[in-house]
Amino acid sequence: MIKLSEIKRFWRDETAGMITLSAFMLPAILGFAGLGMDVSGWYMERRDVQNLTDMAAIDTVHSGNNFTDADLQAQVSTFLNDRGFDPARDTLTLNTPPSQGDYAGQTGFYEIIVSRNVELTFLSAFYAITGNSLTVNVSGRAVAGTLIIGTQCVVALDDTEDRALNFSGSTIVGTDCGVASNSVSEQAIYIGGNAELDTVSVQTVGDIEVSGGGVLTSDSPPQSLSTPADDPYTSLPIPTDMGCDVSGNTNVGDNDVMTPGRYCGNLRIQGENIVFEPGVYVIEGGDLIANANSEFSGEGVTFIFTGDTAGDVGSISMNGSATATLSAPTTDGDTYEGILVYQDPIADYRSAGVSAIFNGGVNLMLDGVIYMPRADITFTGGAQAEPSCLQVWGATVTFSGDSVIGNDDTICESMNLETSPQFRIMLVE
C-alpha cells in the first residue's frame, strides 16, 4: 500500500525534470518545425506558379499575333513546359478576352491562370493512415495586353502636385492623342464636377481620380502607376542676349505688323488684324498679354519667355473673346521647328507665380508645342485645334472650359512632331 508520504515525496522530486518536460514539448516543437517547412514550401510553390503565369501572359500577347484558339493554347503550353510546367500536377487556363477583372471582355488582352497541386510533406505523414497524401492547390493569375502609351499631347510635368492634370467644372475636353501626368499624387489626374474627358490614352505615375459627375472616356484602359512621360524639349537653347531690339512695354494696335526680335518688357496686344511675321520673338522679363476682343495671327512663329533670373521669366494672359491663329515653324532643321511657345526652364512657378492663362471666350487656333515646364497652364476658355496639331506641356495643366486638342497627322508631320501612337506590351493585372 502506497503511503501518503511517498506520494508527497514523488511530487516534490525534481530529478530528470528537463527530460520529462522535453518529452512533453518535443512533439510540439517538431510539429511546428514541420508545419513551418510545409508553409514555406507552399509559399515557394505559389511564387513559382505566379512567375510562370506572368511570363506566360507576356509571351501570349506576342504569340497572339500569329496563333489563335487551339494553336495558341498549344503554343502557351509549350512555352510553359520548357520552364518547369508539369502537366501531371499543373493546369493551364487561357481566356481571351479575359473573363474577369478590369479588362474582362476587352479584345487584345489575355488572361492566364496556372494552378498546381502541392503536397505538404510533413502533414502528409499524419494523413498517410488514409492511404493518401495531403495536397493543397495554389494558383497564379495574370492579364497582359498591348497598351497605347502615347503620343501624349497634354502633359503635366510636376512630379508631386495634387491634380497636376485637372479637368473641373463643366468642361468638355476632347483630344486626338494621349494625356499624361508625371505626378506621384493619388490625384495626379483629376476629373471632377461635371467635367468630361474624351481621349486616346491616359497615363500617370500616380493615380487617377474621377469624382462627382466627372466622365473619363479613353480608347485604351487608363494606366495608373505608370512610367513618367519623357520630356523631349529640355535641351532647346535660349537665344543669346545680344541686347534689346525693343525696350520697355510694347503696345500692339490695329493692323500692326510685328517683326521678330528681342522684346524687353511686356508685349500687349490690344487691337485687331495684327500679324506676326515668321521668326523668333524673345520676350525678356515681360508678359504676353492679349486684351479682350484682340485679334492676331502668325505663321512660322516661336515665342520664347526668358529673363536674367527665375523671377523675371514672364507669363501669358489671353483674355475673353481674344482670337489667336498661330502656327510654329515647319522648316526642316529649324532649331525651333514645331515649337510655338518655349519657356526658359529657369522659371519658378511656385515662388514667382509663372502661368499661362487662356480666359473664357478666347478662341485659339494653334499649331505647335506650348512648352512651359515651369508654369501653371489654365484653359478657362476654349482651345480649338481641329484640324490642327497642338501639344501642351506644363508643370500643371487645368481645363475648366470646353477645348479640343487636335493631332492631325499631316499638320504634325509638317512640324516634325511625333503623331504615331506608341505601344507597350504590359502586365495589367
With 70 as the cut, is the pLDDT of residue 356 above it? Answer: yes
Q: What is the pLDDT of residues 46-68, one digit of tens each?
A: 888 888 888 888 888 888 878 88
Residue 234, pLDDT score: 84
Considering only 225-239, 256-270, 271-285, which range has the smallest mean pLDDT?
225-239
Three-class secondary structure of residue 350 per DSSP: helix
| pLDDT tier for residue 152 given thresholds of 50, 70 and 90 | confident
User: Do the beta carbons of residue 395 and residue 373 sit within 8 Å?
Assistant: yes
- Where is pLDDT greater, at 266 or 7? 266
Radius of gyration of the CA atoms of the chain, in A: 33
All three cell numbers of 275, joined, read: 500679324
- Where is pLDDT greater, at 353 or 225? 225
CA distance 231 to 180: 11
With 70 as the cut, is the pLDDT of residue 18 above it? Answer: no
With 60 as the cut, is the pLDDT of residue 275 above it? Answer: yes
All three cell numbers of 327, joined, read: 502656327
With 80 as the cut, is the pLDDT of residue 247 above it? Answer: yes
- Write the CA distances from 147 to 55, 83, 144, 351, integer angstroms: 17, 26, 9, 38
Tell me what the pLDDT averaged over the chain comes to. 82
CA distance 278 to 280: 7
Residue type, 264: C
- Where is pLDDT greater, at 159 or 146? 159
Q: What is the pLDDT of residues 69-100, one digit of tens each?
A: 888 888 888 888 888 888 888 888 899 889 99
CA distance 286 to 267: 7
User: Do the beta carbons of residue 263 and residue 285 sit within 8 Å?
Assistant: no
Residue 321, pLDDT score: 80
Residue 342, pLDDT score: 94
Q: What is the pLDDT of residues 319-346, one digit of tens each?
A: 878 888 899 998 888 899 999 999 998 8
By percentage, how much of the chain surpasses pLDDT 90?
26
All three cell numbers of 204, joined, read: 500617370
Can you tell me the mean pLDDT for 238-253? 85
With 80 as the cut, is the pLDDT of residue 404 above it? Answer: no
Residue 151, pLDDT score: 75
Residue 103, pLDDT score: 87
Q: What is the pLDDT of residues 163-222, one digit of tens each?
A: 999 998 888 888 878 899 999 999 999 999 888 888 888 989 999 999 989 999 988 778
Helix (H) or strand (E) holding 181, with range, is strand 178-181
Helix (H) or strand (E) holding 280, with range, is strand 279-284
Residue 106, pLDDT score: 86
Residue 37, pLDDT score: 61
Residue 131, pLDDT score: 55
Can you tell me the mean pLDDT for 127-147? 73
With 90 as the cut, is the pLDDT of residue 366 above it? Answer: no
Provide the 10 A C-beta neighbour count for residue 247: 12
CA distance 323 to 301: 16
